[in-house]
Chain A
Amino acid sequence: MQAEQLRVLVTKIGFDGHDRGSRVVAAYLRDAGMEVIYTPPWQQVGAVVSLAIQEDVDVIGISSLATDHLIIPDLMEALRAADLGHVGVVVGGIVPEIECQALRDAGVALIFGPGASREDIVSQVAKLGTDGRKTKLTSGEFAV
């Protein structure tokens, strides 16, 4: 199996539109050799799931700066319902400590707060994507 480029969807759900962070992170992931699919803000949960399927992504990065992380559990459920459990979900931005656990319980793999370094973001997203792809390839219909 040839190592293919990791595919990452960088998006925002809910109501907020602050996108400095998501744009900078998208540029970092792209510079690190990943294929980044970038959307305008305010995506609905269903739209993110459709995009993830259409674009066959390995990782979904959600940027949240104004409490939109509160609907991420809905997204996780929708992803599972669409058999996208192998897709790693990363949240970046402002998530109060007290609400991080709920996101992890819902299946969010990584949470990056303000001040996270490029190195950490790039290396951990790469690992998450690679691991997710292995899971996908060894589970059922995708197995070779």
Chain B
Amino acid sequence: MTLAKLKSPHGEEKQLTLPGFEAAEADWRKDYAAQIGQNRKITNRSGIEIAPIYTPKDWSSDQHMADLGFPGQSPYTRGIYPTMHRGRTWTQRQLIGLGTPADYNERVRKILDLGASAISLLPCNSGFRGIDCDEAPLSLLGTCGTVVNTVDHMDQALDHVPLGEISTAMNDPSPFTLFAFLLGVAKRRGVPWTKITGTSNQSDYISHYVANHMFYRLSQPGSRRILVDHVAFCREHVPNWNPVSVVGQHMQQAGATPAETMGFALSTAIQYAEDCMAKGMEPDAILPRFTFFFDISISFFEEIAKFRAGRRIWARIAKDRLGAKDPRSWRFKFHGQTSGVDLTAQQPLNNIARVAVQATAGIFSGLQSMHTDAYDEAITCPTEETARIAVATQNILREEAHLCDVIDPLGGSYYIETLTNQMEEDILKVMDQIETAGGMYAAVGSGLVQTMIGQSALAAQEKIETGVEKVVGVNCYREDDDGVSQPLPYRPDADAMQAHVEAFKTFKKERSQQDVEKAIDDLRRASNNEDLNVFEKVVDAASAGVTHGEIIGTLREELGFGHPLVVA
């Protein structure tokens, strides 16, 4: 019997007892070398060299308990729950945001009628800039999101939507005005806040400073303070709400490799957890409500390895570094969005195939919630028809392709396990770099992260320009006329938008100015007193009729605005 030496990525050598293995492998090597011709080097997006074959020499089932275990158990590689998608499939959470609150309401009720239990709300980009609709060019209002500036607007947007029964995710950066409006509506309708479920998407202010500047609207120190207050407020008053969503997506969209992205996101999560703990919160009181949000690129195996490695690392961080004892704190809950960066404006229908591959990677990674991009992503905000196909893609993968029948179906694959270990190593290297720089908050302040992302973006584009990385319809298989006409872009009705703006102006005139002034004063006072909770005053201000732009304007005066550090 031939014994092959096996060196695991963890360093220990093991004996491989497979009769005939060495001879067969040597034969294959010979045949492969003779027939392959030029053996070009292949690397994945994270820069890991990919071999033509993986065998028990790379990973063997002897490592099963150390590397895999079982779902819902340490080291959590295979999933955070014992039942995973067998018990409950992922939440289908399509992003929706358009026009006036009435336009949004019409679209969201259609989705609820189709059986959705979760909704999302994307506000107008003017909201991300921290201004109200009466300060923005009319032509831009509502083109990419819904114009929601007050509790009244939120009430209209969620008309007939049963707040206590559905989960709501909102793109709602610090100071979380949309969430404050939602709580105002709940109070108005007599729905207890304990029944409100959902997630503050875009609570990750570091990612806005670094990558997706669209959501940046308050200084870093100000956002840092408010996030901690927001977590404390939710813990006490809205316990079923997820106040923190750590966003790796922005970094990857901006160019970070999958390994860098996971490293940045985990380092960010450590920063937020430690900030909360410094304010006296126990890890087990906050970590079960931490969530993550990632891009799923078309680099299929790499993405699966990225998520499996990330899940393993987070469980270890939560337990060993942060000291969490409750297993719920160790769970790496994540939402995945199929990556728009991989989609093309050329031959747009091809994007349906790309999204299906990305979504499959997400499902095999064991995600908890997913958004699939519409095929017109590289052209416009999705139309109803293209959004329908995106949802149908998820349904087909679940119902027809049966992708949910087996938990972690690629677990035990020599390739996937080797790659998961390699990705883990690379992710940890990135995290070490961040740690050496003083943690994520300091690392983005010095521009380290921005520089890394910029370099990776250039390197990725270089691969496309030189044809090393092929993009169908862009640098190969091009057709001058693909015979597909572009879907018409969504543009809100200008008259309806004008009326919405006029009604807003009237509202501002007619509200109780005394209540508004008092609420703004309280907000100012809390901003300047560390013993008070700023977010609590944001909630109070919203209910007193203070608008989105006024809340943010006040906080900018007290806590600063500044600019993100852009490293070009």
Q: Which residues of A contact B (CB under 8 A)?
A: 14-20, 22-24, 26-27, 36, 38, 40-42, 66-68, 70-71, 74, 94, 96-99, 113-115, 117-119
| Contact A70 to B214, CB < 8 A, known contacts A16-B125, A19-B566, A114-B345 | no
In the bound complex, CA of A20 to CA of B381 (Å): 19
Q: Identify the closest chain A residue to B124 (Cβ).
A: A15
Does B394 lie at the interface of the complex (its beta carbon under 8 Å from any beta carbon of A)? no
A71 touching B140, Cβ below 8 Å:
yes
B255 touching A115, Cβ below 8 Å:
no
| Contact A118 to B213, CB < 8 A, known contacts A27-B568, A98-B489 | no
A96 touching B380, Cβ below 8 Å:
yes
B346 touching A115, Cβ below 8 Å:
yes
Contacting B489 at CB < 8 Å: which of A27, A74, A96, A114?
Answer: A96
Most buried by B among A18, A20, A24, A117: A20
Does B216 lie at the interface of the complex (its beta carbon under 8 Å from any beta carbon of A)? yes
Chain B, 544-568, contact with A by CB distance < 8 Å: what is the 0/1 string? Answer: 0000000000000000000110101
Q: Which residues from chain B contact A118 at a C-beta distance below 8 Å?
A: 461, 465
A70 touching B143, Cβ below 8 Å:
yes
Contact sample, A vs B, 14 pairs, CB 8 Å cutoff: A14-B140, A17-B216, A23-B457, A23-B568, A24-B458, A26-B568, A38-B566, A41-B213, A66-B144, A67-B144, A68-B140, A71-B137, A96-B380, A98-B489
Does B215 lie at the interface of the complex (its beta carbon under 8 Å from any beta carbon of A)? yes
Does B254 lie at the interface of the complex (its beta carbon under 8 Å from any beta carbon of A)? yes
Q: Which residues from chain B contact A71 at a C-beta distance below 8 Å?
A: 137, 139-140
Q: Which residues from chain B contact A94 at a C-beta distance below 8 Å?
A: 345, 378-380
Q: Which residues from chain B contact A42 at a C-beta distance below 8 Å?
A: 129, 213
Give min CB distance, B470 to chain A, whole Å.
Answer: 12
Q: Identify the closest chain B residue to A73 (Cβ).
A: B139
Give min CB distance, A104 to chain B, whole Å.
Answer: 17
Q: Which residues from chain B contact A68 at a C-beta distance below 8 Å?
A: 125, 140
Q: Which residues from chain A contact B214 at a C-beta distance below 8 Å?
A: 15-18, 41, 66
Give min CB distance, A76 to chain B, whole Å.
Answer: 14
B568 touching A66, Cβ below 8 Å:
no
Give min CB distance, B476 to chain A, whole Å.
Answer: 11
Q: Identify the closest chain B residue to A70 (Cβ).
A: B139
A38 touching B568, Cβ below 8 Å:
yes
B253 touching A20, Cβ below 8 Å:
yes
Give min CB distance, A83 to chain B, whole Å.
Answer: 24
A15 touching B454, Cβ below 8 Å:
no
B255 touching A40, Cβ below 8 Å:
no
Q: For chain B residues 457-487, which have a beta carbon within 8 Å of chain A? A: 457-458, 461, 465, 471, 473-475, 486
Does B212 lie at the interface of the complex (its beta carbon under 8 Å from any beta carbon of A)? yes
A-B CB proximity, top 5 nearest: A17-B213, A15-B125, A17-B214, A67-B143, A115-B474
Give min CB distance, B298 to chain A, whole Å.
Answer: 15
Chain B, 345-386, contact with A by CB distance < 8 Å: what is the 0/1 string? Answer: 110000000000000000000000000000000111100000
Q: For chain B residues 149-202, which have a beta carbon within 8 Å of chain A? A: none
Give min CB distance, A56 to chain B, whole Å.
Answer: 20
In the bound complex, CA of A22 to CA of B564 (Å): 16
Give min CB distance, A120 to chain B, whole Å.
Answer: 11
In the bound complex, CA of A113 to CA of B348 (Å): 13
| Contact A66 to B125, CB < 8 A, known contacts A17-B216, A71-B137, A94-B379 | yes
Give min CB distance, B488 to chain A, whole Å.
Answer: 6
Give min CB distance, A71 to chain B, whole Å.
Answer: 5
A113 touching B465, Cβ below 8 Å:
no
Does B128 lie at the interface of the complex (its beta carbon under 8 Å from any beta carbon of A)? yes
Does B261 lie at the interface of the complex (its beta carbon under 8 Å from any beta carbon of A)? no
Does B268 lie at the interface of the complex (its beta carbon under 8 Å from any beta carbon of A)? no
Q: Which residues from chain A contact B458 at a C-beta distance below 8 Å?
A: 24, 27
Q: Which residues from chain B contact A119 at a C-beta distance below 8 Å?
A: 465
In the bound complex, CA of A59 to CA of B58 (Å): 54
Q: Which residues from chain B contact A36 at a C-beta distance below 8 Å?
A: 568
Q: For chain B residues 510-568, which have a beta carbon within 8 Å of chain A? A: 563-564, 566, 568
Q: Identify the closest chain B residue to A42 (Cβ).
A: B129
B489 touching A117, Cβ below 8 Å:
no
Chain B, 437-462, contact with A by CB distance < 8 Å: what is the 0/1 string? Answer: 00000000000000000100110010
Q: Which residues from chain B contact A16 at a C-beta distance below 8 Å?
A: 125, 144, 214
Q: Which residues from chain A contact B475 at a C-beta distance below 8 Å?
A: 115, 117
Contacting A15 at CB < 8 Å: which of B126, B380, B564?
Answer: B126
Give min CB distance, A53 to chain B, whole Å.
Answer: 21
Q: Identify the closest chain A residue to B474 (Cβ).
A: A115
B140 touching A67, Cβ below 8 Å:
yes
Q: Identify the closest chain A residue to B142 (Cβ).
A: A67
Chain B, 210-239, contact with A by CB distance < 8 Å: what is the 0/1 string? Answer: 001111100000000000000000000000
Does B242 lie at the interface of the complex (its beta carbon under 8 Å from any beta carbon of A)? no
Q: Which residues from chain A contact B291 at a C-beta distance below 8 Å?
A: none
Most buried by B among A67, A118, A119: A67
Most buried by B among A17, A18, A94: A17
Give min CB distance, A16 to chain B, whole Å.
Answer: 5
Chain B, 488-525, contact with A by CB distance < 8 Å: what is the 0/1 string? Answer: 11000000000000000000000000000000000000
Does B337 lie at the interface of the complex (its beta carbon under 8 Å from any beta carbon of A)? no
Q: Which residues from chain A contact B474 at a C-beta distance below 8 Å?
A: 115
In the bound complex, CA of A74 to CA of B489 (Å): 21
B489 touching A15, Cβ below 8 Å:
no
Chain B, 11-36, contact with A by CB distance < 8 Å: what is the 0/1 string? Answer: 00000000000000000000000000
